[in-house]
A = this chain, B = another copy of it.
């Protein structure tokens, strides 16, 4: 890494899960669009061929119209090779295959448990965590050995336990996790500003929010636009659209649009508790007692969101594979597109090229005093030269603390269980999950079945 005036050259990024047909392309696009940084990107993936395809695609981004920097992409056969000498590490892996995801999401349905996503919490999220955490441990050990000073950016779900596992394994790791769910709520507030205050042309950065909670279950305790408190504005929106949901002009970003909701869950949570939940409804619903939004598929539809079946994800992947083929072959032209993600801006800030305040998943050093110290929480942080410093988000408000604290407890327990490869301890978390409305015997049966279904990835337990 070399500074030339206010440019940085020879940056090395290691991308773990570098065969990705989604996040990886977004990052490639954002990197190519960055003026003042350049270097190389090592792509590591257990599917080496996928990484090789992405080398081809990645290198084409440097030629795309509007590209301002050229990055050198290459694939590596080992994790160590990718990590050695890296200044930044990006983690975006898929823990397991659709077979495991199928079990995570759909096996609980036999017991009357419905999950809209199944990757963060709920029975599916817990089992997924059990297979993800050992992978994170391996990556953290690699970082410790090969690039202990690198900054590590995680995009993998389940986000919270993944980041926590990195820190548990290598306590000095400089890691954080990124997620764009809060952005969607800021967008909703911009919409409300337009609709109820007639203020147009605002940007996300104009919506000053204070974020508390954990990934996918974040809450805003303050939302301000210039001198306008956005809580009463949002309340108007929530009351007017309580029964119908709000459907106008939804974001069409490809990463979101199969995952739409009409925000009824968000409105309901606001009327229940007085705070703005700041993730998509599909995620929010999974953190609440199963009686609230996920009782039956019919109820789910009434609440204006969908249960994403794994079959959909399989189809979606097929489309993305096809897209990859076309991009490699040149049938499809590579074009830069703004992803709205902040990864590259965060990298630039860590290099000391600017300062940035944004929400991020990071260890609780006290910024949320009534969540456990050492847990991973999501809140704002200041990104600056070689530092990510959380801002004092403050206590999770009493009204919603029980909901949020519960999940933090679950996650702490799951990480401990996974690190100890202890299924009994994992079951203690599972049986207390708010979607698992089963007696102890049935809960155990479901747990055992889900573990059995995914045993390929749970051999160490």
Determine the chain B residues whose CB is within 8 A of the CB of A384 once the complex forms: 208, 224, 357
* Max chain B Cβ within 10 angstroms of own Cβ: one of A225, A268, A290, A432: A432
A216-252 to B contact mask, C-beta < 8 Å, 1/0: 0000001011110100000000000000000000000
Shortest beta-carbon distance, A187 to chain B, in Å? 17
- B389/A380 in contact, CB under 8 A: yes
A403-421 to B contact mask, C-beta < 8 Å, 1/0: 1011001101100100000
**Interface residue A386 (Cβ < 8 Å from any Cβ of B):** yes
Shortest beta-carbon distance, A140 to chain B, in Å? 22
In the complex, A283→B449 CA distance in Å?
Answer: 33
**Interface residue A369 (Cβ < 8 Å from any Cβ of B):** yes
* Max chain B Cβ within 10 angstroms of own Cβ: one of A226, A274, A384, A385: A385
- B440/A386 in contact, CB under 8 A: no
**Interface residue A365 (Cβ < 8 Å from any Cβ of B):** yes
In the complex, A227→B7 CA distance in Å?
Answer: 12
Known: A389-B392, A392-B392, A401-B409. Is A369-B366 also a contact (CB below 8 A)? yes
In the complex, A460→B384 CA distance in Å?
Answer: 41
- B291/A351 in contact, CB under 8 A: no
- A210/B399 in contact, CB under 8 A: no
- B428/A224 in contact, CB under 8 A: no
- A437/B291 in contact, CB under 8 A: yes
Known: A365-B392, A382-B382, A437-B289. Is A410-B416 also a contact (CB below 8 A)? no
Shortest beta-carbon distance, A390 to chain B, in Å? 5
- B1/A227 in contact, CB under 8 A: yes
Determine the chain B residues whose CB is within 8 A of the CB of A402 once the complex forms: 405-406, 409-410, 432
Contacts A208-B386, A268-B440, A289-B437 aside, 4 further interface pairs with beta carbons under 8 A come to A210-B387, A222-B387, A224-B384, A370-B372
